[in-house]
Structure 1
């Protein structure tokens, strides 16, 4: 994709800074070290103001609303991820265009979830319903969401029984599920002050963690097919390393930020989620490519040597959220987030369309300037919703 250097901010030294610095420390001249430090600081900051970031987010929304797409239905997980980004965009900006998009979508969908009560993907759309209900009560109908949650968490299913011989041996058997259902359950539980519901969510989350989380790499396998056993039959990258999918881990880290934003400070299992968030954030920071955007294969960037927006958007959102909430060190992570945001900017076209999004899949695959998906737009909106707060 285009070099991020085209989007680097100009290095500007204001007269005010010069005058103050001169009068207090250096009389007439900056030292070479001071100049380099100032330039590096400016280079780590975004070119765009919060207002311009918001404008880019509005453009992305307007393009996506004019170009609807979904994998299966208007209530499917792709729209769920997209409208989660729309909800967070409204929360960050207060711009009514975002809230209206959710209201219009909900009316079109009659506030329904998708059809599979046993599949975490099919409640992702309810994050936006819950947000709208919080902002404008008595507009959204939450009964379909309540019915889905009851069925999902309480009705028996073969995935829960562990009776299958394939990878679907637990309820949330793929790591993407940790974005789709847990944030919705958390929002709902906090709405009705139901900590028992949080505990149920934790039980199923912990099953996924125990099965798919790699304690050495601090990353999630997408599902059990990608677990590493040391066998010659293990799936591995061309460089011999484990396969860790960028968007899959983006789902997890982005979902953690959404959950931690709502979980009470005194909730029994909050330390577990916080520790997992910190471990993954540290890993993602350590493997960020120089141009800011993560590759689709996290440990084999050479497999598809270009940035990818959906995974990178979720990482940018999650890391910026950590800075804004005092969980991640600002000095360490701010350059990472700004570099990533510049890469995301480069992927947005003049029309508002967000490209460089890997298509629907389960493992690392290439993207292109013209490949797009609504969940990629959602990731872009999520990133923008936290990046624009960084200087506030």
Structure 2
């Protein structure tokens, strides 16, 4: 076991099967009989179990974007539990990778892991932990994006990038007290906003392939609605949280991010299915059986953070978060595996179930846990 066994040693309990009947689909989840899923003791026992399972079942290069999301969750798990074993896992990963981002200096995916490097640096104060990130982001800011003549018309040309790139730039700017990184993040974020944000729907298209043209042509769901996928918008809302956590209160552009966060929160909350988990496609849920945990996890994280930081009305949003968290915990197996995660892809998908897991789904779950535990209910 990667994390100290004694952290996970709890009495064996029976299994309770929860059945959720949703829009045309039946979902079955197994959940340990655990009492109050909002209790601090329960969450602090669940977090290391989930971290431990994922560390013992690695997938992808540790510097990959998938693990960028996972390790963001691991750092949040450490902040919540103060587990020495979890913190050591963060140090071991960074040291093993020599604190390097992934391969491409120009791609937001490849600096997602840098968010965790910067967070650990702020505890350790070892310059080598952030110098490779600094070198990479300096190239990113100073050079044009090497597009291939496709949809890459701006640096962050897909909405998921708003979780990967902006928090890395903003965290680096705050850690080094260099405002150029904050301003660069703002410039590139707004380009993505202008290109992909639908002001009527208050949601982001994944990329230009999903933006309806002026003549009405373009890709749509089977029910005729525009395609806005759950995970992509979950990434955006998670990214907004991580930006707002860093930006100074007097930063001139902060109101833009707060307003966008509130707009999306309102829209997402209104689209929540009865069982608590959003489907892979936000506007055609009936065509996508099965709740999607990575998008739902990021939504839970963002909405809970909004309540905890007085950006969202507690009376309105707490029931949404409660419903989501109950459903999310029901998607965790007895050994700590987070299921019902949509596989990697650039559009909503249907073929996944309780045994479908991915490291970013675990990261989203851990981020959600780190905010749900703070809720005053």
User: Scaled by the length of structure 2, what TM-score is found?
Assistant: 0.89
Secondary structure, aligned partner of 1:372: coil
Alignment partner, residue 19 of structure 2: 3
CA distance in 2, matches of 1:305, 1:226: 21
From 62, 67, 73, give the equivalent of 1:79.
67
How many residues get paired?
A: 352
Q: Secondary structure at the match of 1:158?
A: coil
Which ranges in structure 1 are unaligned for 5 or more consecutive residues? 11-44
- Tell me what 1:132 maps to: 120
Query: Residue 3 of structure 1 aligns to a residue in which SS?
Result: strand
Q: After superposition, what is the alpha-carbon deviation per residue over 1:312-357, rounded to whole angstroms, capped at 9, x for unaligned? A: 0000000000000011011111110011001110110001000000
Equivalent residue for 1:375?
Answer: 360
Q: Distance in 1 between matches of 2:328 and 2:185?
A: 32
1:307 aligns with 2:291: yes
Within the candidate set 136, 141, 153, 1:153 is matched to 141
CA contact (8 A) 1:129 1:140 kept: no
Residue in 1 that maps onto 2:269: 285
Task: Please list the CA deviations of residues 150-198 of structure 1 after superposition, one character each: whole Å capped at 9, or x if unmatched.
Answer: 0111123334xxxx54211100000011000101111110112222321
Trace 1:43-54 onto structure 2 (pairs within 5 A): 47-54=37-44
* Residue 112 of structure 2 corresponds to residue 96 of structure 1: no
Larger radius of gyration: 1
* DSSP 3-state at the match of 2:129: coil
Contact conserved, 1:132 with 1:140, CA < 8 A, in 2?
no
Secondary structure of the 1:281 match is: helix
How far 1:74 sits from its partner (Å)?
2.1
RMSD, aligned CA: 2.1
Q: Which structure 2 residue ranges, 5 or more long, are not aligned?
A: 1-16, 22-28
1:186 maps to 170
Equivalent position of 1:339 in the other structure: 323
Match of 1:17 in 2: none
The equivalent residue for 1:57 is 47
Shift, 1:297, TM fit: 0.1
Counterpart position of 1:249: 233
Q: Distance in 2 between matches of 1:232 and 1:289?
A: 28
Quote the residue 1:204 is aligned against.
188
Tell me if the contact between 2:30 and 2:333 (Cα under 8 Å) persists in the aligned partners. no
Greater helix share, 1 or 2? 1
Which residue of structure 1 lines up, in the alignment, with residue 221 of structure 2? 237
Name the residue aligned to 2:14.
none
**Deviation of the 1:271 alpha carbon:** 0.6
CA-CA distance at 1:391 after TM superposition:
2.7
1:114 corresponds to 2:102: yes
1:357 aligned to which of 333, 341, 346: 341
Q: CA deviation at 1:46?
A: 5.5
C-alpha separation between the residues in 2 aligned to 1:93 and 1:332?
A: 29
2:204 corresponds to: 220
Q: Within 2, Cα distance between the matches of 1:90 and 1:385? A: 9
**Aligned in 2, Cα 1:57/1:207: closer, same or farther, shift over 3 Å?**
same
2:286 is paired with a residue whose SS is coil
**Higher percent of residues as strand:** 2
3-state SS of paired residue (1:78): helix
User: 1:60 touches 1:377 (CA, 8 Å); kept in 2?
Assistant: yes
Instruction: Tell me the distance in 2 between the aligned counterparts of 1:335 and 1:46.
Output: 15
Q: Structure 1 residues 46 and 7 mapped into 2: Cα distance closer, same or farther (>3 Å)?
A: farther
Partner Cα separation in structure 1 for residue 81 and residue 162 of structure 2: 26
